Each structure stands twice: as structure tokens, then as C-alpha cells.
Amino acid sequence: MISQRLIVCLDVEGGKVVKGVQFVSLKEMGDPPALAARYEEQGADEIVLLNIAANSEDRRKMIDTVRRTADRLFIPLTVGGGIGSADEVGGMLRAGADKVSINSAAVRRPAVITDAAERFGVQCVVASIDSRREGSTWRVYVRGGREATGLDVIEWARECARLGAGEILLTSIDRDGTRQGYDLELTRAVADAVSIPVVASGGGGESAHVVDVLKFGKADAALMAGALHDGSTSVSEIKAAMLAANMHVRTAA
């Protein structure tokens, strides 16, 4: 039986972990390799490093951050943010990433997903989708949630899977940083639409939120950041709640 996963996200800017609300009001949280190693020790199943800066200097720093973080980890490491080509995917994989997430570049040129999947395998390619509710549906946004694309989230998720993505990282911009719980309706709609794993992101604030999105949102994994960084909850507390809900969980050694 496949374990349901708890993934810790580290948003990185200027070589440091930061966290905000709805992609803004950022506060520095610490050093990526140190935080990643701490969460692995606590029982996190995976780590995601997301470069949220847009400038070329931060992209160069990110390679070093990935190398230093990968050197500290045994659990899978996903890297994303500003990845624009299959060559850049390869660079992150060579730096130590296990998977690479592609967001804005895939909207601009969908073939980048196929290019990366054909060169490195579908297991390496994560389609990252940032979603905002608009009326009765959800629309895809890019550039850190600042730019509307007009794309329907459900249809875009299907297309990403068709193009060769091995996983969907689905973020609700409306819920991001609010700690009010994941968007269960959104997550369930995407999970029902694709056959690849869906990682729910945006809104996780306590263990009950993780259990809800895995059980009722049909997510394969839940991603959490700020509530773990400031100690509002812990990996062990969330894993205990998952076990109590009769989920198949990998426990810390």
C-alpha cells in the first residue's frame, strides 16, 4: 500500500526560507538545509524547495541551495520556481533534486513538460498549478499568483498529465498562508480529473486539515509550511493524527 505523504515546503528567497500570506508579506524563517534536515528527522516524507524570487542572482543561488540541501537529505527533494526549460530541469536534477516542478513556463510553452519527461522520466516532472477561485470555477495564475491566464484549472491539470507530468502540485492562492484548511472542493475536483498523484497546498494550519484533505479532498499528499515553521503544529503531531485516521503512514526511524 502506498503511504499518504506529508510534505514540508520551504519557500526560498535570497538563499533563506521565507513565508507569507497569499504570496505576499514575507518573513524570514531560516536556513534551507538546516530546516530541511530538521523536518526529515521529525518524519517528513518529502521536502519542496520553491524559489519565489524572479531575478537571475537568486536563480544562481538556488543551485547552491539545492546542492547543500540535497547533501543533508535522504528523503525526496523537489525543487521549483523559475524553471523554464528541460535543460534547467536537468541542472536541478544534477544538483541533487529528485523532482522538479514547472509552473509559469509550462503555461507559456506546454511542450517543456513533455521535453523534460522524455529526457528525464515522468517521475521527475511535477506540474505546479496556482489556482484562484473565480465564481463557480478556478483559474490558473502564474508569476507568483500575480498574472491571470484564463486557463481552467481542471482542464489544465488534465493537459499537464497528458503532456507527461508525473505529479500535480496544486496550490490554492485563496487559502495560501491563511491556515483555514485546504480547499477540499478544488483538490477533489483535480484528483478526480487526473490519474497522477495530486499534492494539496495552501491553507494547512493543523493536523485535522491534513487528514481532511487526504480523506475528503482525495489528495495523495498534503504540503505544509508556515504552521510548521513557527511551531503551531509539528510533523509528529500531524503523523499521529494521520495514523489515528487509519491512514498508511511512514513513521520516523
For residue 207, the model assigns a pLDDT of 97
| Active-site residue, 11 included | yes
pTM: 0.93
Per-residue pLDDT of the chain (253 residues; tens, 9 = 90+): 678 999 999 989 888 888 765 555 566 768 899 999 999 999 999 999 999 875 556 677 889 999 999 999 999 999 999 899 999 999 999 999 999 999 999 999 999 999 999 999 999 999 999 999 999 999 999 988 888 999 999 999 999 999 999 999 999 999 988 999 999 999 999 999 999 999 999 999 999 999 999 999 999 999 999 899 889 999 999 999 999 999 988 876 5
Taking the CA atoms of 122, 158, 91 and 131 in sequence, report the sign of the dihedral they define. Answer: negative
Task: Please give the Cα distance from 72 to 68 (Å, whole number).
Answer: 7
**Active-site annotation holder among 45, 58, 115, 130:** 130
Q: Which domains does the chain have, with CATH numbers?
A: 5-244 (3.20.20.70)
| Active-site residue, 31 included | no
203: number of CA atoms within 13 Å, CB side?
Answer: 27
For residue 22, the model assigns a pLDDT of 52
For residue 109, the model assigns a pLDDT of 97
3-state secondary structure of 135: coil
For residue 52, the model assigns a pLDDT of 82
Task: Give Cα 22 to chain centroid, integer Å.
Answer: 15
